[in-house]
Structure 1
Amino acid sequence: MTIWEPAGLSGAGPRYLTLADAIGADIAAGRLGPGDRLPTQRELARRLGVTIATVGRAYQVAARRGLVTGEVGRGTFVTPALAPAAPAAAPVVDVAAVHPPGHGPVHRAVAPILHRIAADPLAVGAEDADAVRHRIAGARWMAHAGWRPDPGTVEVTAGGQHGLAAALAALAQPRQVVVTTELTNPGLLAAARLLRVELATVPSDAAGARPDAVDRLCARRRVAALHLHPTLHNPTGVTMPAERRRELAAVAAAHDLTVIEEDPFGALLPDRPPPVAAWHRRTVHLTGITKTLAPGLRIGYRYAPPSLAEPLRAAAQALAWAPAPLVAEVATELVLGGAAHRLAATRAAELAGRAAIARQLLGDRASAPGPAPFAWVRLDHDAEAVTTAARRRGIAVAGADEFAARRGAPPGLRVSLSADEDTVRTALRALSRLIPAGR
């Protein structure tokens, strides 16, 4: 077995595709040669901090691309006849990543800001003055439904994942328990693995996480925090009504819990109910502009009460000393100038149209609520077969295993609606032929 592992897994798509791409890139660069044996799935999963299923799927994709071969009982090997410079084929249609395309109107809005900054060497760098403006922008971006956080309680992060990982690091020690839903943000799964935080799950219904289940779990286990994603939940698309948010806030207060509330897609739904932070003071509210506007604008915003500010700030600095000042300045200009909200409204309208197409082509198995940048397709025991069949046909989708915080989580797959309409329609039509008729 070779000691090979990729230098890093970066990119907007699913990690199994990123890993398959890394295998192809290292073969092309000569770092992997014909006949080299790759690490076992278990060993590589341990090194990279991903699931064995992720590595297994990466190896399957690499095999379909002709990069590797598997031998039962022996392992996975670089294809002997493969030339070192062999290119790695890309999926025909990628409907796995939910990042916005990041071009067109966003580029046109960003260009004059960058020109202004380029013309003034002192436009970025006055840290104290800039920090105040950036916090004001963050407070304005996350404000909704009458909730108006004080800019002094807001910090800028280097994206949503940075804010989430820092919150886990600050609020939960290794082996402590954080409660989340059975299907949850893959970023939470990755951060919990890295920080060795245990995730305990509660079931959801049509309104989101069930308060009674949270209450029962907290009664029998010592819980450090409750993780919620109440608006356009990833991956199911559920938006909690106000009453459910109040109920969960009451349970959190009864058990003296800190709530970690993610809201990466909230700006797409401006009339969403108030956040849990409006009812439960000990809430860390996380949002940003990356998932709404463009993947290159990797800036997040974090609200926290003063009692939690210092440990959160220390954890954030340990993970990434500070967000990039240039990107923070661009985000601030977009928000304070009003362009960010206008761009979000335009994108929400586009996504609402794609959601209608998803419901039309996939029927009642598809949950595609309004402006969510994805549709969740409910499946039965055939979930793995459908996902595998789609990938074999060149349709890259995100299977339920990428979101499952426990074994036996509800099966399904997430289909991105973020690509152009023709791509989305092509993928949905292909999937409609693979998915069993709705219940």
Structure 2
Amino acid sequence: MTIWEPAGLSGTGPRYLALADAIGADIAAGRLTAGDRLPAQRELARRLGVTIATVGRAYQVAARRGLLTGEVGRGTFVAPAPAATAPATAPVLDVAAVHPPGHGPVHRAVAPILHRIAADPLAVGAEDADAVRHRIAGARWMAQAGWRPEPDQVEVTAGGQHGLAAALAALAQPRQVVVTTELTNPGLLAAARLLRIELATVPSDAAGPRPDAIDRLCARRRVAALHLHPTLHNPTGLTMPAERRREIAAVAAGHDLTVIEEDPFGALLPDRPPPVAAWHPRTVHLTGITKTLAPGLRIGYRHAPPALAEPLRAAARALAWAPAPLVAEVATQLVLGGAAHQLAAARSAELAGRAALARELLGDRVAATGPAPFAWLRLGHGADAVTTLARRRGVAVAGTDEFAVRRGAAAGLRVSLSADDATVRGALRALARLLPR
């Protein structure tokens, strides 16, 4: 069916949400039925007097709601109605989020720290010495492969997303260009939309973003910054080898380009190569403990050259002023006392075992086998349909549209390996039954 269009877009919110709601209403009313083909995005945008992007986002939202499915080259269709036995409530096996559970060994390590702080909690953060200790802890946490950042170039942030948003705000103006990969951290997508920054993409190969593509893009466009996620990349789980990092650092230096290097999962891979910051001093290196240890420990660390320190600090303060001193103190004691690295090592071993199980059950679809807290399944055409079907069978996963800068990116889905063991195993087995052999 290609002649459908909604009677009108009502409501005061974004028009793409109004369009997604209209699709759902017409399906519920029987005006759209399973298998009906919706108009092409360009055609519907022309009829409604909206942008193609508005229609595209509406279709994506409707697909996430399980209303639509689509395949490249064929079009967008109303999804089949769920079977009567399908769950009517939230999915039972939630492997969409990648936060660690934050209990067990982490709880046992944090409890005595909180007990000590409880003796005088309001004194935490009141002395300059506390801030120095927090920076020392940050420098120790991000040190790797011979790279030892100076504590006076480290700042504590209210989590990784705070550090990333502040870096974008400090380095790029609205409508300026930041380069990233075709599949990237959803936090970058959200911050770029908020700050009205344009994201341009470069293709990747097995080693990571291609240096020649970065070089060509920087030669023809004015680029504000290059965004990289070289270790346990979100969502693919791939780790960039040292030689590729050196090559990209050389390209960045040749264009006098600032690099934003995210490393939220790096502590899970202790033998990782040195960061790009080790070769390219004009790098803002971001890490933290939240994604490795526990979601309640929302603390990040940022390392940057002195020339960028003040604009980065000003942007961070405008967004969140400062991290909570109590949480920063807990993180500091975990790191300086050695518990944080021990917990990360145990977590890495656990995730490596789950990654091996994912490869055993799902085969070569799994893009990487390192200790990332997720597995990326390469699906090719039909990824939206698989994602929708998985959700209807009680498995919540994160589809391509949550990571793609624009339509046409490599299709797949991300499965969290961070949930409890029973959930992860159940979800992997359910997906193995769903996917074609």
Query: TM-score, structure 1 length as denominator?
Result: 0.82
Residue 176 and residue 353 in structure 1: after superposition, are their counterparts in 2 closer, same or farther (change >3 A)?
Answer: same
Q: Match for residue 61 of structure 2?
A: 55
Is the 2:139–2:149 Cα contact (8 Å) retained in structure 1?
yes
In the alignment, what sits opposite 1:249? 249
Aligned to 2:151: 151
Amino acid at match of 2:297: L
What whole-Å deviation, never above 9, does each CA across 1:134-157 have from its counterpart, x for those lacking one?
A: 000000000000000000000000
- Write the mapping of 1:417-436 to structure 2, written as runs, cut at 5 A: 417-436=417-436
Distance 1:424 1:241, change over 3 A: same
- Extract unaligned runs of 5+ from structure 2: 1-9, 22-28, 30-47, 49-55, 68-77, 79-87
1:156 counterpart SS class? strand
1:221 corresponds in structure 2 to 221
CA distance in 2, matches of 1:53, 1:274: 41
Secondary structure class of the residue paired with 1:112: helix
Partner residue in 2 for 1:100: 100
Provide the C-alpha distance between the structure 2 equivalents of 1:127 and 1:320, rounded to a whole number of angstroms: 20
Q: CA deviation at 1:125?
A: 2.9
Equivalent residue number for residue 117 of structure 1: 117
The alpha-carbon distance between structure 1 residues 382 and 58, as it changes in their structure 2 partners (threshold 3 A), is: closer
* Counterpart in the other structure of 2:278: 278
Instruction: Indicate the residue corresponding to 1:406 in structure 2.
Output: 406
Whole-angstrom distance in 2 between the partners of 1:346 and 1:190:
32
Which residue type is aligned with residue 113 of structure 2? Answer: I
Q: Does the 8 Å contact 1:368/1:374 carry over to 2? A: no
Aligned-CA RMSD value: 2.7
**Residues 139 and 150 in structure 1, CA contact (< 8 A), matched pair in contact too:** yes
Number of equivalences: 381
What stretches of structure 1 move > 6 A for 4+ residues in a row? none
Q: CA deviation at 1:219?
A: 0.9
Letter in 2 for 1:348: S
User: Once the 2 structures are TM-superposed, how far is the Cα of residue 407 of structure 1 from its aligned partner?
Assistant: 1.7
Which deviates the most, 421-430 or 220-229?
A: 421-430
SS in 1 for 2:434: coil
- Deviation of residue 127 (structure 1)? 4.1
Aligned to 1:177: 177
The residue that corresponds to 1:75 in the other structure is: none
Q: Look up the equivalent residue of 2:185 and give its one-letter code.
A: N
Partner SS state of residue 118, structure 2 = helix
Q: Residue deviations 1:276-310, cap 9 Å, x none?
A: 00000100000000000000100000000000000
TM-score calculated relative to the size of structure 2:
0.83
Q: What code does the residue aligned with 1:120 have?
A: D
> Contact 2:202/2:209 (CA < 8 Å) preserved in 1?
yes
Alpha-carbon offset, residue 56 of structure 1: 2.1
- For the Cα contact (< 8 Å) 2:64–2:388, is it kept in 1? no
In the alignment, which residue of structure 2 is the partner of 1:9? none
After superposition, the C-alpha distances for 1:130-189 in whole angstroms (9 at most, x for unaligned) are 110000000000000000000000000000000000000000000000000000000000
Task: Please give the alpha-carbon distance, in whole angstroms, between the structure 1 residues aligned to 2:260 and 2:99.
Answer: 22
Cα deviation, 1:383-410, whole Å, max 9, x if unaligned, reads 1111111011111000011000122000
Label 1:415 to 1:126 Cα distance change in 2 as closer, same or farther (>3 A).
same
Question: In the alignment, which residue of structure 2 is the partner of 1:308?
Answer: 308
Change (3 A) 1:123 1:369: farther
